[in-house]
Structure 1
Amino acid sequence: MNPIPACCTPLDDHWPLPDALPGTVFLSTRFEPKLLEASDFQRCAVPPPASIQRSVAKRQAEFLAGRLCARSALQRLEGLDFIPAIGEDRAPVWPGHISGSITHSTGHAAAIVGHKAQWRGLGMDLENLLSLERAERLAGEILTPDEMQRMAAGPREQIAQWVTLTFSAKESLFKALYPIVRKRFYFEHAEVVEWSDSGFLRLRLLTDLSSEWCYGKELEGQFAVNEGQLLSLVAVGA
């Protein structure tokens, strides 16, 4: 068993979303940057990259928390003792036969892993719920014109969740598809077509990423809101 530093709570395998994904392992932890000690990386056998060593305590704590979740998830999945490095493209580098995703927001980190034979892509994103004022300010940067119309047609009290969800879902979509297509795309290249109060959503690509992942292709995702944070997940089955 790997030690858990004082800055992190014990790893939790509670599945937080509407539908569990068969064959995956999900782990999360809460972290407190003020409790991080310089020796925690060495004690937990998580070598910090140079960029992390130079960063503030918050960034160090979220990196450590996310990597602890990822390593333990890989150990549970198939006994692998492996810590994803940071790739040149800033994405985590997973073993060749593994799909995975790491996410963190204020005080909370999580990771999900599965075999590529079952899940070609896994993308997960955690965000703090935006305030209404901030959501209205950022909407034009995150939403497509069609999404803006759909937002305007709905009740104003849903705007904060709608914008947060759209941001998070597009981040999850990118994390799920980028390892497959190896091509960057941005907020304007996808739209949330619909979402339900039960935690399901549908996304549509608005650009050609490959012959398979082309304009109009739709994917499903899921999300949950808990304690002021929204977690979304997009999974691409094999």
Structure 2
Amino acid sequence: MPREVVAGPDRDQGGEAAARATPAQAVRRITQRAPVLPGPRGEPCWPAGLVGSMTHCTGYRAAVLGRAADVRGIGIDAELHVPMSWRTVERIALPAERRRIRSASAVLPQVHWGKLLFSAKESVYKTWFPLTGRPLRFADVDVAFRVARGCRDTGSFRARFVPSGRVFDGAGSPWLGPGIAGAPAEFAGRWLIRDGLLRTAIVLPQPAHEPGAFTNTQPDGPTDGPCST
């Protein structure tokens, strides 16, 4: 499981440079090594033996790290909890996702479900790309949310990968392609809305740390377990 979490207010408003200082702090705490340099697509390149993810938005930045022996992938994202225009929602959401957003908005209108969907797909991408080295479109992932029982601001989500000839070539694993055999065809994560921010996160354990079939998914349903923080 993740060994280090560094998060807090972005007081100096240093943008990308400030965001990259946060994972460097986490790396130093675990390995005494730094810095964290960007890869070809701007993704953080973690030191050997570590897996991680980073995020930043106005007023907030965070990084999560785990040892690769325990964790196969991590994806986190933070966004301001503000409305997203329906035109933008239509660009990032599949038809089934749009129907679920409408239904959820009727029950919990205080949650900006479109923005939450965007954040969840960002966390999916941050978990996916280091595993595959392949791009991923919004339309390649179908995300469904659940709300924790007794809560209005936290829960879980399931992200299922949708077949796409541009991304999936049918070799190796039917979903993640060559070299990723045995990886799940879907990810599961958690979401939280607090203090004007929404946060999503995915942790993909190594198979040895997951009993039974290799999956980190949750059962379908409108509500999650009891509310907890």
Same fold (TM over 0.5): yes
- CA-to-aligned-CA distance 1:27-83 (integer Å, 9 cap, x gap): 0121234xxxxxxxxxxxxxxxxxxxxxxxx5xx02233222212211222x33211
CA deviation profile, 1:120-160 (whole Å, cap 9, x unmatched): 111111111122xx342321011111101122233345385
- The question of 1:74 aligning with 2:30 is answered no
Give TM-score scaled by structure 1 length: 0.72
**Deviation per CA, 1:158-211, whole angstroms, max 9, x where unpaired?**
385211111001100100110111100111000112322442111111133763
Task: Give 5+ residue unaligned stretches, structure 2.
Answer: 149-153, 177-183, 207-229
Letter in 2 for 1:93: C
Larger proportion of helix: 1
1:139 maps to 89
Using the alignment, how far apart are the partners of 2:51 and 2:120 within structure 1?
A: 18
CA distance in 1, matches of 2:5, 2:96: 34
Q: 1:103 aligns with which of 23, 41, 55?
A: 55
- Structure with more of its chain in strand, by fraction: 2
Query: What residue in structure 1 maps to residue 156 of structure 2?
Result: 200
Q: Counterparts of 1:196 and 1:146 in 2: how far apart (Å)?
A: 18
Aligned residue among 145, 149, 152 for 2:102: 152
- Counterparts of 2:110 and 2:93 in 1: how far apart (Å)? 11
Kindly, what percent of the aligned residue pairs are identical? 25
Tell me the equivalent position of 1:128. Answer: 80
Match of 1:212 among 162, 173, 187: 173
- Give, in whole Å, the separation in 1 of the partners of 2:172 and 2:120: 23
- Contact 2:10–2:61 (8 Å) recurs in 1: yes
Q: Which runs of 4+ in 1 moved over 4 A?
A: none
Asked if structure 2 preserves the Cα contact closer than 8 Å seen for 1:192 and 1:202, the reply is: yes
Question: Is structure 2 residue 17 aligned with structure 1 residue 64?
Answer: yes
**Corresponding residue number in structure 2 for 1:24:** 3
Gaps in structure 1 of 5+ consecutive residues: 1-21, 34-57
Asked whether 1:91 is paired with 2:43, we answer yes
Please give the secondary structure, in 2, of the residue aligned with 1:117: coil
| Other-structure match for 1:186 | 137
* Cα gap change, 1:114 to 1:135, in 2 (>3 Å): same
Partner of 1:184, secondary structure, is coil
**CA 1:230/1:106 → structure 2, altered by over 3 Å: closer, same or farther?**
same
User: CA 1:213–1:27 in 2, change beyond 3 Å: closer, same or farther?
Assistant: farther
